[in-house]
Amino acid sequence: MYEWKRPTLLDVISALFLFLLVREWLIPLQVLTDTGDLWPFYMIAASAILVDLLMPYRWLSFPFKLIGLLWLLHATFFETPFWERKWLIEVYQHIVHDIPLVFAQDWGAMSILSRNAMFDIMLIVLISMITYLVLEQRQVLWFVVMTEAYLALLDTFMPYEADGGIIRTLICGFLLLAITHLTKMTRMATVNGKRGWVLANSIMAPMLIIAMSVGIAYAAPKQDASWPDPISFLMGNSQGTAGTVMKKVGYDNNDGQLGGPFISDNTLVFVGVTNEQSYWRGDSKDIYTGVGWEKGKREYESILDLQNHEWENTLFKGLEAREVKSSLFFSGPLQYATVFYPGQIKKLRDYTPENATVVFDTWNQQLEIRAGKINLLPPSGSSNSQPVVGPNTLLMKLKQYNVESEVPVVSEKAITQAGTNYPEEIRANYLQLPEQLPARVRELAQEITQNAENPYQKVRAIENYLRSSGKYKYETTDVPIPEPGQDFVDQFLFESYRGYCDHFSTSMTVMLRTLDIPARWVKGFAPGERVGSDDQGNDIMEVRSKDAHSWVEVYFPELGWIPFEATSTFTSPVRIQYDLQSEQSQLPIPLPDLGNQGGIDRGDGRWDELEGGDAVSTSGFRIPWQVNALILAALAGSAFVAWRRRQDIQIWWLRRKMNHLESNQYPDRFHLLMRMVESVYTRRKSGETIREYVNRLSIPGDKRQDLRYLTEMYERMIYGLKGMEQKARIVAEELMERLIRQLKP
């Protein structure tokens, strides 16, 4: 029979260190995935370890874990009382509805409730197995080595800094090994004398070794790595060719090499409080190289008195505009020397630090923050010999600032009638294309816009084609890298058919330029996630690194730069006022017939979630037969296991009843003991006395002797009407405990 031993202080400490090791497996989720808060996973890990530590039988722990899982799902997704059936039915319907999607590996189509429930179940099972091997079987070393290898692989092949995790794992792992070894020693032999002092001395040595080794490793001087980048080396690109490493999404000034997969980064960049949600513009670029974007022409304006400076018509003019007031607060590890603003900027106020100055790129509308003022030497040949005051050459990052800006409300009538009378400097800089651009890119653009009558209709035709034709899929991980000499846009449009915002926005910009429509590539952040509102009704937006985004700006004569969105999973930032009188002009621009494209593919499922795609209809709900079969199989398996372990269950139940009886209730305790003996060996025959039954049992001599003694004591109390002395009662209790421990099915 399984014998449960109450957890000691060493067992509790071992469980604590095991939780810290499991925690190191969970921490990277927040950096490498879209995971927001990790506290639910921490609760699952801690609860599973604690339940396994305290429960006498492992099978008994699973109902408690299931209840805890349901409570966590309820606390995360529901506001109804826990004991109401409505939310339980909804959970059941979601899981049953999404089980076929699991077999189809269509994870994006599953509801967020089902994904969380299934991941939590998997995590509970995994941690239960680890707890059994580490805390019960004392197999610690393998888990410590696996944790170190896991962190080392992430640090080497993923954009995750695992230095701290490796050190923490080393400390916790060595201490767990030491405590496990000490636990084995104390169970093998009795520790005499001052037990606490002996245990402290046993732990002190490994702690000193860990402290010295970690301290020396941290403080000692270290050289840079002499090995090449392992990913580039393994891929045969030891020279560090760009695009061979999995990137982490985020705002970056280097856009010279686009393409390849990236990992979503959930790091908070800033919190924005705004009266209207919009894109946060950062910069634009005008030279397409065939593999990425660079800046060409630049014109800078030095702004020393930033508090009183005002901008006017930096992007557009002659259009109705909506005023936007925003406050941005930066507190995380990701901060930039670039000012982000909705639409076109008007004022920048109440910034910190207060000594900031700005270099404004009037050609690309980028605001770069500098660390105060310095004296600059006058240009050579200038008649003025006095130093010139200008912005510092050192960049600086603002902690917070208030920005006033405006977003356009585009008149369809005005933009349709804008014409093609572009200024010469606009033509010279925003129609540039590489000489090696494949001809089929230009041919596709012409085919898409063959029915369009003006530049605006051509812009909308290409935008609609990329967003809604269903030919191109939004994808972030399974994204190929262009081959050497291969054009980035050509690969996306005609070979891979999958990519993210950089692919869609660059393709739209390039195709518009092939049609002699000036366009440029813009980057910044999407609006972010709304997390609440302030007392004035303004939206509080959390903008994270994963919200970094790129879109397109198109130039229209007399109007300026108007934003457009080519990526299907994002909402277009342009606001259109449909004021044309002709009904025909207000019809949606038709897409070209490019063959059978199949159904519209919304990419990663984000659009479906925005449209309520996660909702499960409760009307006409039917459970698939596969789910019913799976439930019946699980019930049958549980029943089979319970039948096979019926003797263990019965002995555990009888032992539990015995523990509730007082020691002076010897006859009742003896009856429970005999029921345990009958469940393990054989039943008493009809009319057979207890003494005859004990003599008939095929058991070792020491057990028979103990059982005979207990039987004799029972007969004396029942038939001799004699009480049991204290000494005899103590002996009987010891014999009972020894017999129960020896009972095995």
What is the edge-to-edge ordering of all strands in the sheet holding 357-361? 300-303, 357-361, 366-370
- Residue 300 or residue 488, greater confidence: 488
Beta strands, E only, 449-505: 473-474, 498-499
CA-based end-to-end distance of the chain: 7
Share of the chain above pLDDT 70, in %: 77
Q: Are 418 and 316 in contact (CB under 8 A)?
A: no
pLDDT tens, residue by residue, 19-52: 998 888 888 877 766 565 677 788 888 888 888 8
- Residues 267 and 193 placed together within one structural domain of the fold: no
- Residue 608 counted as domain residue: no
Mean pLDDT computed over 377-398: 70
pLDDT tens, residue by residue, 321-340: 889 999 999 987 778 888 99
pLDDT tens, residue by residue, 210-221: 666 656 655 555
Please state, in angstroms and rounded to a whole number, the distance separating the CA atoms of residues 202 and 195.
Answer: 11
pLDDT given for residue 214 in this prediction:
59
Q: Are 203 and 48 in contact (CB under 8 A)?
A: no
- Residues 145 and 203 placed together within one structural domain of the fold: yes
Q: Are 22 and 143 in contact (CB under 8 A)?
A: no
Query: 205 falls in which pLDDT band (50, 70, 90)?
Result: low
Q: Are 566 and 552 in contact (CB under 8 A)?
A: yes
Q: Is the pLDDT of residue 571 over 50?
A: yes
Q: Is the pLDDT of residue 594 over 50?
A: no
Query: 722 falls in which pLDDT band (50, 70, 90)?
Result: low
pLDDT given for residue 273 in this prediction:
93
- Residues 74 and 212 placed together within one structural domain of the fold: yes
Q: What does 26-95 look like in DSSP terms, one character per residue?
A: HTHHHHHSS----HHHHHHHHHHHHHHHH-SSHHHHHHHHHHHHHHHHHHHH--S-TT-HHHHHHHHHHH
- Residue 244 counted as domain residue: no
pLDDT tens, residue by residue, 645-674: 777 777 777 777 777 677 667 777 788 888
pLDDT given for residue 67 in this prediction:
84
- Residue 715 counted as domain residue: yes
CATH number at residue 314: 3.10.620.30
Reduced 3-state DSSP string for 244-257: CCCEECCCCCCCCC
Neighbours of 250 (CB within 10 A): 20
Please state, in angstroms and rounded to a whole number, the distance separating the CA atoms of residues 477 and 638.
Answer: 40
Query: 591 falls in which pLDDT band (50, 70, 90)?
Result: very low
CA 449 to chain CA centroid, nearest Å: 41
Mean pLDDT computed over 496-513: 92
Q: Is the pLDDT of residue 555 over 90?
A: yes
The residue written with tokens 């290898």 in the block is 149
Q: Which of 179-193, 324-338, 584-598 has the lowest mean pLDDT?
A: 584-598
Q: Are 353 and 396 in contact (CB under 8 A)?
A: yes
Give Dmax (Cα) for the chain: 129
The residue written with tokens 């006017």 in the block is 312
- Residue 187 or residue 286, greater confidence: 286
Q: Is the pLDDT of residue 705 over 90?
A: no
The residue written with tokens 């702004």 in the block is 303
Mean pLDDT computed over 53-79: 77
Mean pLDDT computed over 140-162: 82
pLDDT given for residue 217 in this prediction:
56
Please state, in angstroms and rounded to a whole number, the distance separating the CA atoms of residues 540 and 553.
Answer: 27
pLDDT given for residue 116 in this prediction:
78
Q: Which of 198-202, 309-313, 454-458, 562-566 has the lowest mean pLDDT?
A: 198-202
pLDDT given for residue 601 in this prediction:
42
- Residues 31 and 126 placed together within one structural domain of the fold: yes
Q: Is the pLDDT of residue 581 over 80?
A: no
Q: Is the pLDDT of residue 546 over 90?
A: no
Pick the closest to residue 148 from 308, 285, 25, 64 (CA basis): 25
Strands 400-411 and 287-288 turn out to be unpaired
Neighbours of 377 (CB within 10 A): 9
- Residue 11 or residue 430, greater confidence: 430
Please state, in angstroms and rounded to a whole number, the distance separating the CA atoms of residues 713 and 724.
Answer: 8
pLDDT given for residue 394 in this prediction:
79
Query: 620 falls in which pLDDT band (50, 70, 90)?
Result: very low
Q: Are 73 and 43 in contact (CB under 8 A)?
A: no
Please state, in angstroms and rounded to a whole number, the distance separating the CA atoms of residues 505 and 288.
Answer: 12
Q: Are 519 and 427 in contact (CB under 8 A)?
A: no
- Residues 207 and 346 placed together within one structural domain of the fold: no
Strands 280-285 and 519-525 turn out to be antiparallel
Last residue of a domain, one of 217, 252, 283: 217
Q: Which of 98-102, 359-363, 484-488 has the lowest mean pLDDT?
A: 98-102
- Residue 98 counted as domain residue: yes
pLDDT given for residue 441 in this prediction:
94
pLDDT given for residue 33 in this prediction:
64
- Residues 345 and 441 placed together within one structural domain of the fold: yes
- Residue 236 counted as domain residue: no
State the total domains in the chain: 3
- Residues 206 and 273 placed together within one structural domain of the fold: no
Q: Are 176 and 144 in contact (CB under 8 A)?
A: yes
- Residue 611 counted as domain residue: no
Neighbours of 299 (CB within 10 A): 9
Q: Write out the residue range of the structural domain in which residue 74 sits.
A: 9-217
Alpha carbons within 13 angstroms on the beta-carbon side of residue 708 total 11
pLDDT given for residue 325 in this prediction:
93
Please state, in angstroms and rounded to a whole number, the distance separating the CA atoms of residues 578 and 586.
Answer: 7
Q: Is 372 helix (H, G, I), strand (E, B) or coil?
A: coil
What backbone phi and psi angles, to 5 degrees, belong to 740?
-65, -40
Q: Is the pLDDT of residue 236 over 70?
A: no
The torsion of the CA quartet 38, 41, 47, 50, rounded to 10 degrees, works out to -90
- Residues 634 and 565 placed together within one structural domain of the fold: no
- Residue 621 counted as domain residue: no
Which helix H or strand E contains 288, and what residues bound it? strand 287-288
Please state, in angstroms and rounded to a whole number, the distance separating the CA atoms of residues 523 and 314.
Answer: 16
Pick the closest to residue 502 from 190, 313, 643, 291 (CA basis): 291
pLDDT tens, residue by residue, 413-422: 889 888 899 9
- Residue 246 counted as domain residue: no
Pick the closest to residue 292 from 259, 263, 262 (CA basis): 259
- Residues 193 and 278 placed together within one structural domain of the fold: no
The torsion of the CA quartet 60, 62, 66, 69, rounded to 10 degrees, works out to 120
Neighbours of 451 (CB within 10 A): 12
Share of the chain above pLDDT 90, in %: 17
Strands 539-544 and 268-274 turn out to be antiparallel
Which residues 6+ apart lie within 8 Å of 44 measured at CB?
A: 68, 69, 72, 120, 123, 124, 127
Q: Which two tokens stand for residue 159?
A: 């954009």
- Mean pLDDT estimate for the chain: 77
Q: Are 351 and 398 in contact (CB under 8 A)?
A: yes
Looking at residue 508, its amino acid is M
- Residues 190 and 333 placed together within one structural domain of the fold: no
CA 639 to chain CA centroid, nearest Å: 37
pLDDT given for residue 385 in this prediction:
58
Last residue of a domain, one of 573, 588, 619: 573
- Residue 693 or residue 342, greater confidence: 342
Q: Is the pLDDT of residue 595 over 60?
A: no
Last residue of a domain, one of 573, 596, 615: 573
- Residues 563 and 653 placed together within one structural domain of the fold: no
CA 118 to chain CA centroid, nearest Å: 15
- Residues 548 and 647 placed together within one structural domain of the fold: no
Please state, in angstroms and rounded to a whole number, the distance separating the CA atoms of residues 200 and 196.
Answer: 6
pLDDT given for residue 353 in this prediction:
86
